[in-house]
Every structure is written in C-alpha cells, then in structure tokens.
Amino acid sequence: MSTTNIDDFDYVLPDKCIARYPVTPRHDSKLLVYGKGELLSDRYFHLPVHLPADSLLIINDSKVIEARLHFRKSTGGQVEVFCLEHGDTYPDVSTAMQQKGSVEWICQIGGVKKWKTGPIELQFESNGQQQTLYAVQLERQDFGFKIRFNWTDPNLCFAEILHLAGKTPLPPYLNRESEESDKSNYQTVYAKEDGSVAAPTAGLHLTEELFEHLRMKNIQAATLTLHVGAGTFKPVKSKTAEEHDMHAEFIEVRRELLNALLERPEQTRVAVGTTSLRTLESIYWMGVRLLQDSQLTLQDLHMTQWAAYTLPQAFSFSEALNALLQQFEKEGCDQFLTKTSLMIKPGYRIRSVDAILTNFHQPRSTLLLLIHAFVGKDWKKIYDYALENNYRFLSYGDGSLLWLNK
C-alpha cells in the first residue's frame, strides 16, 4: 500500500467561501458537473438533465440528533456534553434512543476541567412543566466519556429529551451558535433513523420537488443508513493518511437495499454523499469476506480501516452482494447493524457506483482523499474551478456531481 502525503491535499479556503446558511430553496444551490475531465456549472434543480433515465440514487436516511447539551454546575459554571454514540449496553441506536428514565451514552465534554465529580443539571420544559436532566460521569474512554443520563419525567424517552433539551450539533467551522432554523435546515427531507451527530450534507440539496422531477425520468432512490460520527470533523494531523485513525461509524445493511442494487446490474448508480459511498463500499467488502470465509456470520462483518486493502480483489460487486443475500437467508434476517472505519484513499478502486453527489470538503481531510480515489488528480482542478467561480463550500454550501474516472 503506497503512502499518501496529506500536504498534497491542502488548499487555501478563504473564510468568505464557507457557507454559514443554506440557500432557499435548497435545490437552487449551484451544481458543478465533472466528467471525463470536463467541467460545467448548473443548479441542483437541473440534476435530472445530467443523469441517464432509470438511474438509481443511493441516499443515507440517518437523522441528525440534537446532540449538544448545555449543563450547569451547582457552582454556576457551564459544561457542554456532546452525545456521540450509544453505550455498549444497547444493541443499536434505536434501542438506546427509546430508553426511558435513564440511558448511557459515549460523549465528548467541553469544559471537562470544570466538571470533576458529581452530577450536573439541565433544566428544560415539557408540556408546560419544568423538568431536569442529570448527567454523571461513569468512566473515561479513548474517544470520550461514558455518561449516565437520567431525568425527572419517566414517560419521556431519550430521543424526546434530546429534542426538548438539546441543540443542533453544527460543524465547528460554521463558527456560530445553532438557531431554530437549523433544526430543519441541517436535516435532509428524507431523514428517518435517529443517530447522526452531523448531517449527510450532500442530501441537503434534495427537495420533494426535485425528487418529483427525478421520478419523471424514472430515477429512483434506494435507502441505506450510516450514522455520521464526530470523527467526520476530525482533522488529519498526521503527515500521512496511513498514520490517521478513522473513527468507526454505525451502518445498517438491509435486504431491501441489496435487492435494489442487484435488480438491474447495468443501471447507473449515484451515491448521494461520501457517507453513502463508504457504506456501499463497506457492504461490498463484507460480501467479499463471506466469499472468502463461509464460516463468518453477519455479526462478524465489521470493516476496519485497512481491511479492504488486504482482501481478494477479483470479485464483482454483484457477487459480493449475492453472498450477503445468501447469508441473510441462512440466518433468517432482513437487516443487520455493524460498524465501518473504511478509509478510501488514492489508489483505491471504487466498485459500487458510477457517480457521486457531494459537497466541497475541508482542506487536508479524509473526504478529499476519497474524492481523489473517485476522480484522480483532477480533484484540484475541480476545487480551483469552484473557488474561482464563487461556489459556497462545506456543509451548507454548493455541491458537485462527479463521474467516476474509470
């Protein structure tokens, strides 16, 4: 495996190019279209023009939770608790979110030096009555702290607690506090499964009106779930990609998705966002692992950061997905939950899709490494063009339709 120098993925991003708010309506965002070395500018609303009839979009239906909680100590000091992922007591995010009265969660803590011992409190209102959320530190872990939350109204589940007491976890580079409008703006129109602490932002441009225009060309959508973790904001501080640790994220693999992907193997497939692409590529390698070792079960199929680079390269996308479907039949299930920390970097060969819809990403980020795997060295040409033509960058910014350089 060749070494990837992070300095090669640096560029100057002026502060004025970072979008602080989305455009209205969302589908009026600029769309940069790249294919076979050529570039053109358009709007997201005209996306159907740039896709073949009968294409398949693969979307991530993960829903952003209001994961930032601002507590107050008895002495008056403030502590921010950022909920990252559910504790290992629960089998999945959904179960953890439905807990009533008490729950354990892995969190990051802002101002942890101010909170050494004892519970902290957050006052909030529910149905006109004052309620209290308490937090207690249980243990320090590699990526944060295990926190036990409990609250005064035993009829409320944790999902409701976050909605009532939490704030939208905007990316730090927006450099502003979340506002009421962010509750809807920082959420895709098809968000369904609670669990992300950052939006799958490529999907923010897609509106019900745009989906209707896509359906007029018989362009359909298939759904997967990857719960975006705080690691998506983690800058690459090492000199090489190989020294960087990717944070694992939860994905849900469903029989329905596999069937949609296999129904027409020659169909043009478009990943909506890097999260969808990482999930699809992870699913492929899970199938390869089953083809390599028939003794594995679905629960064995987590993807580590570099596993894909050591597995056999000869299997097709369809062969790998059929292996997963056969395993579903063998275990008598329709879905399973697992984790992936797959890193896609220069030299990696994309197998799952023909194109990707994606926003413009931060300098020196793992997402830029993924874009290089997709379009090669033309990533710089694409980003230079976007900067020169006043495209808006990052989560609330404009985006691109990139065709795979095969």
SS3 per-residue string spanning the chain: CCCCEHHHHCCCCCHHHECCCCCCCHHHCEEEEEECCEEEEEEHHHHHHHCCCCCEEEEECEEECCCEEEEECCCCCEEEEEEEEECCCCCCHHHHHCCECEEEEEEEEECHHHCCCCCEEEEEEECCEEEEEEEEEEEEECCEEEEEEEECCCCCEHHHHHHHHCECCCCHHHCCCCCCCHHHHCCCCCCCEEEECCCCHHHHHCCHHHHHHHHCCCCEEEEEEECCCHHHHCCCCCCEHHHCCCCCEEEEEEHHHHHHHHHCCCCCEEEECHHHHHHHHHHHHHHHHHHHCCCCCHHHCCECCCHHHCCCCCCCHHHHHHHHHHHHHHHCCCEEEEEECCCCCCCCCCCCCCEEEEECCCCCCHHHHHHHHHHCCHHHHHHHHHHHCCCCECCCCCEEEEECCC
pTM above 0.85, yes or no: yes
Please report the pLDDT score of residue 230 as a whole number: 73
More confident residue, 93 or 406: 93
Q: What is the dihedral of CA 374, 198, 29, 274, to 10 degrees?
A: 10
**pLDDT at residue 60, rounded to an integer:** 97
Query: Is the omega angle on the peptide bond into residue 172 within 30 degrees of 0, that is, cis?
Result: no
Structural domains of the chain, with CATH:
6-63+185-403 (3.40.1780.10), 67-166 (2.40.10.240)
Mean pLDDT of the chain: 94
Do residues 246 and 342 touch, judged by C-beta distance below 8 A?
yes
- Percent of the chain at pLDDT exceeding 90: 87
Strand 269-272 versus strand 56-60 pairing type: parallel
The pLDDT > 70 percentage for the chain reads 99
> Residue 78 corresponds to which tokens in the numbers above?
């403030």
- Structure confidence by residue, pLDDT tens digits, 305-336: 999 999 999 999 999 999 999 999 999 999 99
**Rounded CA Rg of the chain:** 21
Look at residue 226 in the predicted model and tell me its pLDDT. Answer: 94
Confidence label for 233 from pLDDT (cuts 50, 70 and 90): low
For residue 144, the model assigns a pLDDT of 86
Total length of the chain = 406
Q: What's the pLDDT band for 110 if we cut at 50, 70, 90?
A: confident
Tell me the C-alpha distance between 136 and 118, whole Å.
Answer: 6
The DSSP bridge partners found for residue 30 are 43
Please state the rounded mean pLDDT for residues 138-164: 93
CB 401 within 8 A of CB 353: no
Looking at 109-113, 124-128, 169-173, 302-306, which range is the least confident one? 109-113
Q: Does residue 221 surpass a pLDDT of 70?
A: yes
How buried is 219 (Cβ within 10 angstroms: 0-12 exposed, 13-18 middle, 19+ buried)? buried
The whole-number pLDDT of residue 101 equals: 95
Return the sign of the alpha-carbon dihedral for residues 254, 256, 262, 266.
Answer: negative
pLDDT at 337: 92
- State mean pLDDT over 8-18: 96
CB-CB contact of 197 with 65 (8 Å): yes
What pLDDT is stored for residue 172 in this prediction?
Answer: 87
Higher pLDDT, 91 or 45: 45
What is the pLDDT at residue 232? Answer: 66
Give the CA count within 13 Å in the CB-facing half-sphere of 138.
13
C-alpha of 187 from chain center: 12
Q: What is the pLDDT of residue 7?
A: 95
Give per-residue pLDDT as tens, 360-396.
Answer: 999 999 999 999 999 999 999 999 999 999 999 999 9
